[in-house]
Structure 1
């Protein structure tokens, strides 16, 4: 007897190669079914994958954590292509954190524009893409580099909703790039805000200078950022706040990458609370972004169902 799993209704399958905090709530909210996989590594390090759910003529959704992508990308391609080969009617990708967005031009002769290469490669294996707050710096939209339908979900509303439950705060944006984002969150949550001036001297060397915040010294400062990678920007912001006499400091971000255990370094530096959404699995995940993702995913599923 076959041990493959077949669905009980015409509902999407939802797969993930690694445990992800969004997998269960998204599956439930979509009235979908959890897809079943077998995977392991051979002794030589190569990846083994088996899809145990019957996906022929079914819509499939893959939830993928693409932080630290180099070790995860090839297994993801194996999954996406296997679903297609097994007859899935569509394969959509929810990548809440979308990697390889920083290198969007050739800053020095011979550099690889990895954002474009990555986008072209990934687009070949999926029918649509949903992500949260990608680092669109020189690109105006994802469709400049991705060739499949895509939806970008904004993290600001869910951060603002969480901050609305807090009192006596000062929101702090670390640099001018964050001003429009932080001002929007401040407007929604009804907290005052200030914006710092950041000077970057390398990947891990930055300096943050804050304006006069004497009038806010009795408030809890909450640093707002879209992504924390090395943590250096947040660390410098903490030190700048402390130098201005503010010692009640927290930080809220959409994506928490926390390279080199930078989350621990930030707590040691003086953060009393560190909070992220559940786009990237981490103990700081305290804000569920499922309600924001859901309309985008449903719209793309409905779009492909109608056109199909």
Structure 2
């Protein structure tokens, strides 16, 4: 039975490519609000007797969540054989422990809500901290995809003589894997965080790489503070204006406007719709869906 791909509003481009590559039917989710703020949801496409893949990148999870859940429940009510979540960006991964008395461990709570509604989930590069796999949070089958090879290939094709730079210690594995794949040198910076929007970066002596183009690589660009400080310090050492390549282009508040002047180019994957998108992910997701899920 042919699969039915249903994008939540704002996810139509990704879903269209995905449906084509999975040989699935593309439907539509109509979602709007009544004057009192309640959600209206209607599915366009017949889910009866077939797998349904709901596509929703969760970069703005709170406004989207009820519509997503209502769409999933409706697909099941209308006879879907299974209802799966395709979430290129997975939210609520930050708060994975109780740092202060009375705090909600939102990553666990969110995982319970998703696991209670969907049969499986596919995502890419979730921001895992204390849980090495999503199976430590989610009770449904999950597929965790990785974008590093795609970033590496894009860099190799588009940037001459790159120097791969991870902006902090967490990015060591990232930067190292990308650099190894394309045979480029890499360095990792040291970050000290003073709050959500205040960081300092220590940059080692990079004078031996003056003939190379620094490329800052990271999984998430949110506030942009880490990338901004790193870019300024690289230029202060006399290096070329850097490039930036990221997976999840969140760019909260005014981050995008702050970062654009600091980089020669900013490129992201299509995990979060943004004008910086330049690296396709749908072939990776299509392969995971066709082959089945495995965390």
Q: Which of structure 1's runs of 4+ aligned residues deviate more than 6 A?
A: none
CA-to-partner distance for each residue in 1:262-294, whole Å, 9 max, x for gaps? 1121012x2110000000000000000112222
Kindly indicate whether the alpha-carbon contact (under 8 Å) linking 2:212 and 2:240 is maintained by their aligned counterparts in 1: no
CA-to-partner distance for each residue in 1:174-211, whole Å, 9 max, x for gaps? 11111111100001122111110000000010111111
> Which residue of the other structure, out of 175, 179, 202, is the alignment partner of 2:168?
175
Match of 2:96 in 1: 104
CA distance in 2, matches of 1:229, 1:72: 19
Q: 1:249-288 residue pairs with structure 2 within 5 A?
A: 249-268=242-261, 270-288=262-280
Match of 1:185 in 2: 178
Shift of 1:23: 1.0
2:142 is the counterpart of 1:150:
yes
2:10 is the counterpart of 1:19:
yes
User: 5+ unaligned residues in a row in structure 1: which ranges?
Assistant: 1-9, 304-308
Kindly indicate whether the alpha-carbon contact (under 8 Å) linking 1:206 and 1:233 is maintained by their aligned counterparts in 2: yes
User: 5+ unaligned residues in a row in structure 2: which ranges?
Assistant: none
Question: Helix, strand or coil: the match of 2:32?
Answer: strand
Kindly indicate whether the alpha-carbon contact (under 8 Å) linking 1:183 and 1:193 is maintained by their aligned counterparts in 2: yes
Question: Helix, strand or coil: the match of 2:271?
Answer: coil
Match of 1:3 in 2: none
Match of 2:237 in 1: 244
2:40 is the counterpart of 1:70:
no
Q: Which moved more, 1:225-234 or 1:10-19?
A: 10-19
Match of 1:7 in 2: none
Match of 2:203 in 1: 210
CA distance in 1, matches of 2:92, 2:31: 25
> Which residue of the other structure, out of 26, 30, 33, is the alignment partner of 2:25?
33
Question: Helix, strand or coil: the match of 1:211?
Answer: coil
CA distance in 1, matches of 2:91, 2:29: 24
Kindly indicate whether the alpha-carbon contact (under 8 Å) linking 2:175 and 2:186 is maintained by their aligned counterparts in 1: yes
Match of 2:86 in 1: 94
CA-to-partner distance for each residue in 1:52-92, whole Å, 9 max, x for gaps? 32211111001102002111111111101111111100001
Kindly indicate whether the alpha-carbon contact (under 8 Å) linking 2:9 and 2:31 is maintained by their aligned counterparts in 1: no
CA-atom RMSD, angstroms? 1.3
Shift of 1:248: 2.0
CA-to-partner distance for each residue in 1:98-150, whole Å, 9 max, x for gaps? 00001010111111100000000111110000000001110011011101000
Kindly indicate whether the alpha-carbon contact (under 8 Å) linking 2:231 and 2:241 is maintained by their aligned counterparts in 1: no
Kindly indicate whether the alpha-carbon contact (under 8 Å) linking 1:128 and 1:300 is maintained by their aligned counterparts in 2: no
TM-score by length of 2: 0.96
Shift of 1:19: 2.9
CA distance in 1, matches of 2:142, 2:234: 38
Kindly indicate whether the alpha-carbon contact (under 8 Å) linking 1:65 and 1:97 is maintained by their aligned counterparts in 2: yes
